[in-house]
Amino acid sequence: MDFQKLAERLLPGDYPPPEQFEAQYPPRGLAPSAAVTRLAPSPTGFIHLGNLFVAIANERIAHQSGGVLYLRIEDTDLKRKVDGAVEAVIEALRYFDIRFDEGAEIDGPNAYGPYYQRARAPIYRAYAKDLIARGRAYPCFCTEEDLARLRERQTAEKQVTGYYGRYARCRDLTEEEIDAALAAGKPYVIRLRSQGDPAVKHIFRDEIKGEITVPENDQDVVILKSDGIPTYHFAHAIDDHLMRTTLVVRGEEWLASLPIHLELFDVLGFRRPKYGHNCSLMKMDGESRRKLSKRKDPELSLAFYRREGYHPRAVKVYMLTLLNSDFEEWYGKHPESPLTEFPFRIGKMSRSGALFDLNKLNDISKNELSRLSVEEMADFLRQWAQAFGSPEQQAYFADEEKLSRVLALCMGIGGKKRRKDFITAAQTLNEIAYFYAVPAQRDAYRVDDVTRDAVLDAFAATYDHADDAQVWFSKVKIIAADLGFAAEMRDFKADPSAYRGSVADVAEVLRIAFTGRANSPDLWSILQILGEDVVRARLRAAHA
C-alpha cells in the first residue's frame, strides 16, 4: 500500500509538516521547574465543583512554580456548544480568583493559540495526514450499524468491545477496496492503527495516584470524525503538546483513556506531559458515599455558590482543605496570610474520592465572614444584592450608616467575641431583615398570649428610648418581677418552683416581638438602631 498516496487522496493539498508546528510553537523557555497547566472545558455552560477543584490545583501548581495557566476550549462537539459558555467559565473562575495567563478570551501573550479547538482544524488534519502517510492511521468506512453489530458479536463472544485487532475490519483494506469505497462516496472516519498489546502492562507514575499499572492500548480509536473534526483524544494530545503543557491535572474519569493517550503521544512523536488524575468529589447519602450528581445535588454547580452568596474565600478555603490534607493545619497557623502562601503540592492530593460536605463549608463560611470588617462585609453583601437581591434588600444599602451599625452589632464587632451568625450573603440579608421591616415570621412564644400581652403592655408603658442599657434592663427586670418571673437568674436557679420563669423568658418575649427571633444580638442595641418610632410601631404590631 502506498500510504503517501492514500494520505494525499484523503487529505489533499498542502498541509504543513509536523516540524513546522514544532517551530511555530517552540518550547516556552521557562525554568525546568515551571509547570505549564491548563483548563480545557467543553463549552456546555455547566461549570461544576469538579472544574473548580481541578482549576485550583492547576492554578496553584502553575503560579507557584512560575509557570503558566491557560484556558483552552474543547468545542469539537458542536452539539454541546452553548452561547456565552466561555465567558461563563472565565467569570465563574474569576469569582474564585482563578486567573488565566493566556487562552481563549484572555488578554495575554497568547502565542500558543488559537485556543478554540474548532479554530485548530488544519493543525489536526496535518497531523492526521502525517499519520496516514506513515501507515499509522487509516480510513474506516464502517457504518453505525456495522459497529452496533460488531458490539453485539463481541458481547456474545465475551470479548472486549471496540474496534481493534482482528475485529478492525477496515484496518487492512486493500488500495482497491479503499478506492471503491471512496468512489462510491461512502463516509469514513480516520482511525489510529494501534500497535499496542493490552497483555503488556506498564507501571505509570500518576502525579496524584502514584504508581499505577496501565495496559497498552490496542483500540483503533477514531482520531478524525467523518466531518473532519478530531476526537477529544486526538485533539488534546496535539494541543497539550503544541501548547507546551507540562502537567495535565484532570478528572479521574479520563484514567480509562490514558492508554490511548499514551499511545497517541508516542505515535505522534511527542514527549508526554505528566498526568495527575484527580479523584471525584463524593458526598454522603445516608450511610453510603456517592459521586455528586448534576441531577440530585444543586451544590455541584458553581452557579449555586454565586446565587447563595458564598464568600469566594470560604469556598476556596474548603476546596484547599479537601485538596491538600495539611492545608487545615497551615491555615490554623496562618489565618491572616493570603491563601497563595500555602505551599500547595500535587503529591498531597487525595488518591481516593474527597468527601464534600455542605455543612463543613457552612462552618468555614461562618468563620470567614466573622473575620471580615464591617466595610468588607457591606461590600460583599452589596455586590451580591445588586446581582441577586430583592428590591427590598437592595434598599438596605441606601443608608450606609445604619447598615454599618446593623452589621457591627450582628457580627459582634467590639464585643468580647465575634458572632458567627452569617453563612452566605442570601442568608445574612434574611437574617438582618428585621432591621428593615416587621418580621415576616416569628419564632413561637414560650409564654401564653395573655402573659405575652402583659409583657408588651408593661414594656410600652415604661419604655423610654433615651434609657441606657442598664436602665433599660432594670425596667425589664421590674416587669418580670411584677408578672411573677424571677428578676435575677440566680434566684430562679436557686428555687425554680417559686417563679413562673425568669427574666430571660420575659426578654425572649420582647426579642420575638421586635425581631421575630428567640435569639438575636443585644436587644437594647437593636432597639437603638430601629429608632423610637419603629419600636413603638412594632409593639403595636406584635400585640395585634
The answer to whether the beta carbons of residues 123 and 22 sit under 8 Å apart is no
Q: Are strands 288-291 and 281-285 parallel, antiparallel or unpaired?
A: antiparallel
Q: Closer to ligand GLU by CB, 248 or 410: give it.
A: 248
Q: Closer to ligand GLU by CB, 323 or 509: give it.
A: 323
Tell me the backbone φ, ψ of residue 443, rounded to 5 degrees: -65, 160
Q: Which of 250, 277, 452, 538 binds ligand GLU (CB under 6 A)?
A: 250
**Cell numbers linked to 92:** 465563574
Smallest gap from residue 233 Cβ to ligand GLU (A): 10
Q: Closer to ligand GLU by CB, 74 or 218: give it.
A: 74
Q: Closer to ligand GLU by CB, 42 or 65: give it.
A: 42
Smallest gap from residue 285 Cβ to ligand GLU (A): 24
Q: Which of 59, 74, 75, 130 binds ligand GLU (CB under 6 A)?
A: 74
- Give the contacts of 543 (CB within 8 A, at least 6 positions apart): 453, 456, 457
Smallest gap from residue 24 Cβ to ligand GLU (A): 22
DSSP letter string, 317-352: HHHHHHH-TTHHHHHHH-TTS-GGGS---GGGS-SS
Q: Which of 10, 15, 41, 102 binds ligand GLU (CB under 6 A)?
A: 41
Smallest gap from residue 72 Cβ to ligand GLU (A): 8
Q: Does the footprint of ligand GLU cover residue 273 (CB under 6 A)?
A: no
Measured distance CA(150)–CA(148) in Å, rounded: 5
Smallest gap from residue 207 Cβ to ligand GLU (A): 14
Q: Binding residues for ligand GLU, how many (CB under 6 A)?
A: 8
Residue 416 catalytic?
A: no
3-class secondary-structure state, position 186: coil
Choose the binding region for ligand GLU from 22-30, 36-44, 205-213, 505-513 (rule: CB under 6 A): 36-44
Q: How many CB atoms lie within 10 A of CB 436?
A: 17
Q: Which of 48, 60, 209, 236 binds ligand GLU (CB under 6 A)?
A: 236
Interactions with ligand GLU, residue window 417-446 (CB under 6 A): none
Measured distance CA(39)–CA(28) in Å, rounded: 18
The answer to whether the beta carbons of residues 543 and 458 sit under 8 Å apart is no
- Please name the residue that has the C-alpha cell 467523518: 226
**Cell numbers linked to 260:** 490511548
Q: Closer to ligand GLU by CB, 42 or 194: give it.
A: 42
253-272 mask for ligand GLU (x: CB under 6 A)?
A: -x------------------
Q: Does the footprint of ligand GLU cover residue 42 (CB under 6 A)?
A: yes
Q: Does the footprint of ligand GLU cover residue 75 (CB under 6 A)?
A: no
Residue 13 burial by Cβ neighbours in a 10 Å radius (0-12, 13-18, 19+): exposed
Handedness of CA 228, 230, 231, 233 (dihedral sign): positive
Q: Does the footprint of ligand GLU cover residue 313 (CB under 6 A)?
A: no
Q: Are strands 281-285 and 201-206 parallel, antiparallel or unpaired?
A: unpaired
Q: How many CB atoms lie within 10 A of CB 56?
A: 24
Single out the catalytic residue among 79, 81, 209, 294: 294
Smallest gap from residue 182 Cβ to ligand GLU (A): 32
Q: Which residues bind ligand GLU (CB under 6 A)?
A: 40-42, 74, 236, 248, 250, 254
Active site residues: 294
